Structure 1
Amino acid sequence: MSGVNTDVLGEKIVEKLKSIFDPEIPVDIYELGLIYDVFVNEKHDVKILMTLTSPNCPVAETLPVEVEEKVRSIDEVRNAEVEITFDPPWTQDMMSEEAKLELGFL
């Protein structure tokens, strides 16, 4: 496990998160602004604080599991846990400029 600092691991995690797409919107969950925070401790345990576009999101059950599995698939990650929050609630303002451009909001 040694040799990879948490910043490099954080970048790998973000890269992995950018491979996960919201099924209703053709933009990845990171650019959509659904990821609020990524915590990595010195033991390479990862905790991801994220939201969904709405509490009734059709993937509310499966998306957090997919996020955990994909992050856990990174060799240096020991464990991954996703916590869902709706505080603050997601809005279109949380999307990156890239996502807004992709969806025609700019």
Structure 2
Amino acid sequence: MSTNPFDKDDHPQPQDPDTPEGHVKTALRKVFDPEIGLNVVELGLIREINLNEDPAVVDMMMTTPFCPYAGWLVQQVKQESEPVAGKSVRVNVLPDVWDPSFMEDPGILSGWS
């Protein structure tokens, strides 16, 4: 794995929507970043979903290191993922630096500031 945080090879692989992890990812599309107006999956904030752990684990990042909505977003991710996962979920906030290239479609942000 590259040490460059913007290297596309460091991006998580898409999850099959027909897997349990894919179902959780689909549920997380209901969680919107209130400042940007896009969901956490579109933004590429969800880095990994691991349902084999107990509790299950969702790794995510924030768009900025000092995101004022971090606590709220973590709560929403947990709330939306637990019913689908069928168990308790721990949300880890990663220290990684977010970049628009992590998005499903980075072109969505063109003109946004």
Instruction: Give 3-state SS (helix, strand or coil) of 2:70's partner.
Output: coil
- Which blocks of at least 5 consecutive residues in structure 2 are unaligned? 1-17
Q: 1:31 aligns with which of 39, 42, 63?
A: 42
Residue 82 of structure 1 corresponds to 91
Gap regions ≥5 residues in structure 1: 1-6
Q: How many residues get paired?
A: 94
- Rounded to whole Å, the distance in 2 between the matches of 1:42 and 1:51 is 19
Identical counterparts, % of pairs: 29
Query: Following TM superposition, by how much is the alpha carbon of 1:23 offset from its aligned partner in structure 2, in angstroms?
Result: 0.4
Separation of aligned partners in 2, 1:46 and 1:31: 21
**Secondary structure at the residue paired with 1:61?**
helix
- Does structure 1 residue 49 correspond to structure 2 residue 59? yes
Flag the 1:65–1:42 CA change in 2: closer, same or farther, 3 A.
closer
**After the TM superposition, which parts of structure 1 deviate over 6 Å for at least 4 consecutive aligned residues?**
none
Aligned twin of 2:75:
65
Superposition deviation, residue 102 in structure 1? 2.7
Cα RMSD between the aligned structures? 1.9
